[in-house]
Structure 1
Amino acid sequence: MQPTTMKDIAEHFGVSIATVSRALNGSNRVNKEKCEAICDYARANNFYPNDIAKSLRNSRRMPVKVIGVIVPEFTHYYFSTILNGIEAAASKRDFRIIATTSRESYEREVQLCQMFEAHQVCGVIVSQAKETNHYEHFQSLIDRGIPLVFYDRICNGINASIVVVDDYQGAFSAVAHLAATGCKRIAYYGMHGNTVLGRNRYNGYRDALLKAGLQPDPSLTFVCDNREEAEKITPNILKRDDRPDAFFCVNDDTAIGVLYTAKHMGFKVPDDISVCGFTNGERAIACDPQLTTVEQRGSKVGEEAANILMDKVEGISPKEKIEKRVVRTRLIIRQSTRG
């Protein structure tokens, strides 16, 4: 799907492009009803005014430098901290950002990349959607000379710079802690989709079990990466005769779903069930008991991604140079796991 243009809007309403432009800029030369209709249509069809084109027309000396950013979800604590890191780094170097969300949709992600192409952003920072398994839209950005940096969820099929946390080591340290505190049957709640992030966290989980002398049990591995799903599937798992005595979850929200389900069923956390998450968001210290979790340092991830991109835009680093930066994680031990 191609990005909506002012020409498309003009044709839809049977007016001139100039009229559309006036309406979008709130001019009183367009009657109120028509202006509202045009603005509503533009929003519904994901039209974004080309700020870069305006800047080039208005200032030959100081054009606006705009980075397109795609996050899977705005409401997720980790992604919001990454966005904060990107914005903070960008503002220090006089870049602006356009922050968008794919809502975990492949089709919307494609549309956003096309929109960024059409509006000539100077680069794109993205964490791919869960649904994404085709990558032509990313390659198209690179082919057009638009630098691309992946963060968190990376794409092995595209030759681009990446910034990730050490997912393997984070998962390994979490599961090693659970095993060291006496847990023998450690369940794994992992991501939907076949992502590099998901594989790395599972491999860390598996290898920590093996190092502790525990055999991975496929019946304790589940696809579950949000609180709603955790509260739905955990009761039946805890009713098993061979129930787990610990859960390692791919994020904090999933872990909190397990924690509250276990408590509701009469289990004591951590005496009966230990629970560990992965994020260290604000909710980790708002639950009872407070959550043991792996700290991801999202602001640092965003800062690193932005600096890689801006270095390419400003010629400090060659556009074709591929960089990989790994942000270290840290296990934060609280009351949801045994001491």
Structure 2
Amino acid sequence: MKHSTIIDIAKKLRISPSTVSRALNDHPDIKKETKELVRKVAQELHYTPNPIAISLQSNRTTTIGVIVPEIKHDFFASAISGIEEVAYQSGYTIILCQSNESVDREVVNTNVLMQHRVAGIIASISQNTLKWNHFQDVIKRKIPLVFFDRVIEDAAVSSVVIDDYRSAFDAVSYLIGKGYKKIAHFSGPSKLGICIKRRDGYIDAMKQHHYPIPDNFICYGGLHEQDGYSAMDALIQQKTLPDAIFAINDPVAIGAFQRIREAGYRIPKDIAIMGFSNNKITNLMEPPLTTVDQPSFEMGRSAARILVQTIEEGLTEPCHLVLNTKLIIRGST
């Protein structure tokens, strides 16, 4: 279906497009009768303003771009809800893009958002983003940018994160306090910032209690269920079983959980397991999964608030917000 334009309204009324535009924008030079007639015809033709055309004229949009690694992950779905809530309350709409954990697609997403002249961008980087020229382009164009969860550490822009190191350190310390000594860590990509910090928290907690970490007890991989399943399978095949596992996130923990059960081991009597994120499904497992609650909804809301404030008040100093996490103790430990 063809969208009606200002030209269509002008043709029907036999007036100039510029007169139609000024009438729709309530220009004082246009008579009241003309304004009413233009609005009546616009309604009959189901005319809606073109936001891109408006942005070209005003050099400002009310659209916020959002880039996340994936929408299917509970964490990001919840964060998006938080972003959308604040955007709606502030009079903004969002364009949502997902990188599917691909830096190449992330670059395309970023370029598309710049082409759409968005008012600002909220982003969480992909698991293989190492170079960030595309985000440097955003900064050079003075488009407000806020990172959340997964951030570019060297970028002088605002961010909303948790203390990944401390959260991991406290989680592993809890396992040690429960009597577990042979604790394995199923990590994610070795160069992703959140994975590095959670791994370091795990290592330091083990070192503090003088517990050895065998080489095969830190398993690098991806961030999905299959990665946890494969890591657990490798330990089973090597016949070097830990008595507990600290997983980088809940999907990895769920994959490991499945392989443990398939192998006939009992959770937590034979092997305890802990996740990270507090996805909704973790409370429905049997036994329910102990995890670290990451405030994803509030993270999204906070990132959106900072972005809107930056857009509307012209803030130039980056704002760095660190949100608290909470250990959710359940039956898997």
TM-score range, shorter chain: 0.7 to 0.9
- Partner of residue 133 from structure 2, selected from 115, 132, 136: 136
CA apart distance, 1:156: 2.0
What TM-score comes out, normalization by structure 1 length? 0.80
- Residue matched to 1:43: none
- Residue matched to 1:38: none
- Residue matched to 2:197: 200
The amino acid across from 1:113 in the alignment is T
Q: How does 1:152-231 map to 2 (within 5 A)?
A: 152-224=149-221, 225-231=223-229
- Residue matched to 1:17: none
CA shift digits 1:4-45 (9 cap, x unpaired): xxxxxxxxxxxxxxxxxx76x499xxxxxxxxxxxxxxxxxx
| Aligned equivalents of 2:317, 2:209: Cα separation in 1 | 40
CA contact (8 A) 2:61 2:117 kept: no
- Residue matched to 2:307: 309
1:332 lines up with 2:328 in the alignment: yes
CA contact (8 A) 1:52 1:121 kept: no
The amino acid across from 1:321 in the alignment is E
| Aligned equivalents of 1:312, 1:263: Cα separation in 2 | 49
Q: Flag structure 1 segments of 5+ consecutive residues without an equivalent.
A: 1-21, 28-49
Q: Residue 321 of structure 2: SS of its match in structure 1?
A: strand
- Residue matched to 1:31: none
CA apart distance, 1:258: 1.1
Q: Residue 276 of structure 2: SS of its match in structure 1?
A: strand
What TM-score comes out, normalization by structure 2 length? 0.82
- Residue matched to 1:54: 53
Q: Flag structure 2 segments of 5+ consecutive residues without an equivalent.
A: 6-48
| Aligned equivalents of 2:200, 2:70: Cα separation in 1 | 25
The amino acid across from 1:53 in the alignment is I
Q: Residue 146 of structure 1: SS of its match in structure 2?
A: coil
How many pairs were matched up?
289
- Residue matched to 1:127: 124
| Aligned equivalents of 2:4, 2:219: Cα separation in 1 | 52
Q: Which runs of 4+ in 1 moved over 6 A?
A: none
CA RMSD of aligned residues (A): 2.2
Q: Residue 325 of structure 1: SS of its match in structure 2?
A: strand
- Residue matched to 2:71: 74
Distance 1:121 1:232, change over 3 A: same
Q: Residue 275 of structure 2: SS of its match in structure 1?
A: strand
Q: Residue 184 of structure 1: SS of its match in structure 2?
A: coil
- Partner of residue 242 from structure 1, selected from 232, 240, 243: 240
| Percentage of identical aligned residues | 33
Q: How does 1:38-117 map to 2 (within 5 A)?
A: 52-56=51-55, 64-117=61-114
| Aligned equivalents of 1:64, 1:177: Cα separation in 2 | 48
